[in-house]
Structure 1
Amino acid sequence: MRRLDRQQGSARTQWLTFVAVGAVSAGAAFWLNRPPPAHDASALHVGNAASSAQPARALGQDPTAGAATAGTLPASLEGSSPPPLPTDGHGHLARTHAVREFFDYFLTTQNEISATALDALVRRQIAAQLDGTPAAAEAVTLWQRYNAYLTALAQLPPTSSNPNQSGAKLDLDALQLSLDQRDAIGVRLMGEWSEPFFGAESRQQHTDVARLRIASDSSLSDAQKAARLAALDTALPPETRAAHERARQQQAALDAIGQAQKQGGSLDAMRAQITQTLGPEAAERVVQMQQADDAWQARYADYSSQRAQIDKQDLPPQQRNAQIAQLRQQFFSNPSDALRAASLDRGSGSAN
């Protein structure tokens, strides 16, 4: 029974982890190990950011505006709402990161619509929120400056190191130089908006490089590395320290749950082991989730047994598929459960 669901084991373990310790903020994930969004290539990928700057280079030059000029949102944004543009209470644009979030929301469509259409879309949405206030013109000007920043970013030479490439060796000096160049471009082109747009992110990136330098310093003992990393963490803002702690909790949860499941002991043994790492409340939630999953697996085993009987009948494909679909509905009335069963069917080569 466990073998049939092995392909979902990792996903289930992570699910149990989030139940145990809560969702971890995306800000806690190190930028060095995540693929950069299209609108914000990381320092490691800055040489590949040319597509990010397409809006700036092509504004007013693209003769085709695309569907977005008709006043509708691009397909990828349908059903969602643009983030609100904040004002300071006096009609001016508030200097916060939320303004970048507004621009980035639309920049996700840059490979979907033309640059001219994207520019027109952003201007319309600015007017829809801020028309009649000084903030409207301020937002348009800032949008142009942000595009200029992206264009300049794309013109930086690529760094030689990419930790996402297997076997690649980090060149920390190159990473540091790239970060410094990005910071300088931000200050030069964004001015007073550089801090709210990029400040927190830049500090996190510089801290990550500092951590890597400590971790890779062969002249330091493990104790010295731990002491220096602790000192580095102490200097971080409280919210960043909290994000790092949540990341550590998540990893501890993954380790504890994975170890408990690997040992294959009783639920009481799992509860005891996880309690040592995460506490009794989290352990109880994990055990409850495991109990529910065990019950589901038992139901799937019964379903699989009856499905095998249908397979043995050597029916025409259409008739066989109809009978399996009906059987699946009988065992799994919840649509998500039925989808999970169908996925396992496909994995075992018995899909209809």
Structure 2
Amino acid sequence: MTSSERAPRLWRALLPAGAAAAVVYGLTAPSAPAPAPVPQRAVAVSATAPSAPSADPAPAGVAAWPSLSGVAMPAGPEANAAGNLRLTRALRTYFDYFLSARHDAGGIDALDALVHDDIRRHVPQPAAGQAWQLWRRYVACLAEIQPEAARKPLAGADGMLDAQQVQQLRALLTQRDAARQRWLPEVAQAWFGDEQAYDEAMLARLEIAAQPGLDDAQRRQRLAELDAALPEHVRAAREASARPRAISQTIADLQAAGRTTQDIGAALAQAYGAEVAQRYQQQAQAEQSWQQRYDDYAARRAQIEAFAGLSEQDRRQQLDTLRRQAFDNPSEALQAEVVDQAMATRRQAR
């Protein structure tokens, strides 16, 4: 395996666990049959912030899953005075809690059964049926988004996208937003409105950064004007993301300078505190271990791919078996699959 084919570094441990899980699921959600539509009722939509963790315990066995270790069970579905489902932002948080543990559950079918039963622990009919159908449509929406997400443009060595790549990214996000509106029209704004406004602001910044003919002063001025025009909630979200982005940039700069893991940990401790440094060092050790196993796996995968005597179906079966043998932790097997797809896309783009 050449150095250019090594798996990209993933510093998700420095970011909120729920956000990382949602991203992974968005890229890897399985295909699902289109569920029946939810009966149209007059149900109030709320875009309030996610509610506090539920006082109810998680379903039996769920709290022990590795992907949910230390994650509090969100509040479940709620019914209004008429018995219909309240369509709140917190409902997406509840669904994402389960989605982040899809592989621990043993697949989407097993997860469906858990969600189906847990919904009924929280609300009676008709709210329970409405929540179940909304869950099924959410899963189907994510399954549609998956193939498109794999086509996202790859940044260059400097971490930047050119103007054409920014337009490709804009087109992909437009398709994503259209899928959300088509599958989830009654909750699209409450569930995704803030995220889409933030994405639009970030796309505008990328377009300015990639625009030819601007000198540094002009580019800084346009970025400042853009920031000043941002809605308050988008500006707050951007400021909240500044610290993890700064941490990631610090790590990238020090790695580019050839600094050791110990040196980087010391620099992070000084700039951001001991907890960030400890997370980095733990993640660096885990990544080194995973990379060694991925390199061994990739060498054996290449042998299977190069063997001319296999049918395409047999080849896929052998690759799936190899991945499960090399990575007994389902989340690591998932990571290997995502990296395989990214490497294949990169090779095709050359």
Confirm whether residue 123 of structure 1 aligns to residue 116 of structure 2. Answer: yes
What per-residue deviation string (whole Å, max 9, x for no partner) do you get for residues 109-151 of structure 1?
Answer: 2222132211000111111111x24321111010011011012
Q: Which moved more, 1:138-147 or 1:196-205?
A: 196-205
Is it true that 1:84 corresponds to 2:75 in the alignment? yes
Specify the SS of the correspondent of 1:186. helix
* Contact 1:85 1:93 survives alignment (8 Å): no
Q: Equivalences for 1:266-285 in 2 at 5 Å?
A: none
Which digits, 9 at most, give the CA deviation of each residue in 1:6-46, with x for residues without a partner? Answer: xxxxxxxxxxxxxxxxxx9969xxx9xx89622223xxxxx
Retained in 1: the 8 A contact 2:84–2:130? yes
Change (3 A) 1:194 1:229: same
Shift of 1:207: 1.5
Give how far 1:221 is off. 2.6
Q: Does 1:75 find its partner at 2:52? A: no
1:119 alignment partner AA: D
Tell me whether 1:176 sits opposite 2:170 in the alignment. Answer: yes
Partner SS state of residue 102, structure 1: helix
Determine the C-alpha separation between the residues in 1 that align with 2:131 and 2:161: 41
Deviation at 1:249, TM superposition (A): 6.8
Aligned match of 2:234: 240
| 1: CA distance, partners of 2:243 / 2:142 | 35
Q: Supply the RMSD in Å over aligned alpha carbons.
A: 4.7
Residues 220 and 168 of structure 1, relative CA distance in 2, 3 Å threshold = closer
With normalisation by structure 1, the TM-score equals 0.51
- In structure 2, the gaps of 5 or more residues are 1-13, 36-58, 254-269, 286-350
In the alignment, does 2:145 pair up with 1:153? yes
**Do 2:78 and 2:122's aligned partners in 1 also have CA atoms closer than 8 Å?**
no
Distance 1:108 1:35 in 2: 5
Alpha carbons 1:123, 1:140 under 8 Å: kept: yes
Counterpart CA distance in 2 for 1:189 and 1:58 is 10
- Structure 1: give runs of 5+ residues left out of the alignment: 1-23, 42-50, 60-69, 259-285, 291-335, 344-352
Distance in 2 of aligned mates of 1:25 and 1:80: 14
Deviation at 1:230? 2.1
Give the AA of the match of 1:75: W
What SS does the corresponding residue of 1:180 show, helix, strand or coil? helix
How big is each residue's C-alpha offset from its partner over 1:70-125, in whole Å with a ceiling of 9 and x where there is no partner? 95326234675431125364243322221111111111122221322110001111
Matched, 1:108 2:100: yes
Q: CA deviation digits over 1:163-220, x for unaligned, max 9? A: 3878785511110110010111111111111112222112211221110110121312
Work out whether residues 96 and 196 of structure 1, in 8 Å CA contact, stay in contact via their aligned partners in 2: yes
1:196 is aligned with what amino acid? A
TM-score (norm 2): 0.51
1:150-229 paired onto structure 2 within 5 Å: 150-156=142-148, 158-159=150-151, 161-163=153-155, 169-170=161-162, 171-229=165-223
Amino acid at match of 1:82: M
Which protein is bigger by CA-based radius of gyration?
1
1:58 Cα deviation after fit: 11
Structure 1 counterpart of 2:26, which letter? Answer: D
Query: Any idea what the Cα deviations from partners look like across 1:152-171, whole Å, max 9, x if unmatched?
Result: 11243742512387878551
Q: What is the number of residues matched between the two proteins?
A: 224
* Pair 220,100 (structure 1): closer, same or farther in 2 beyond 3 Å: same
- Contact kept? 2:21, 2:100, Cα under 8 Å: no
Task: Report the Cα distance in structure 1 between the residues aligned to 2:128 and 2:22, rounded to whole angstroms.
Answer: 29
Separation (CA, whole Å) in 2 of partners of 1:104 and 1:35: 8
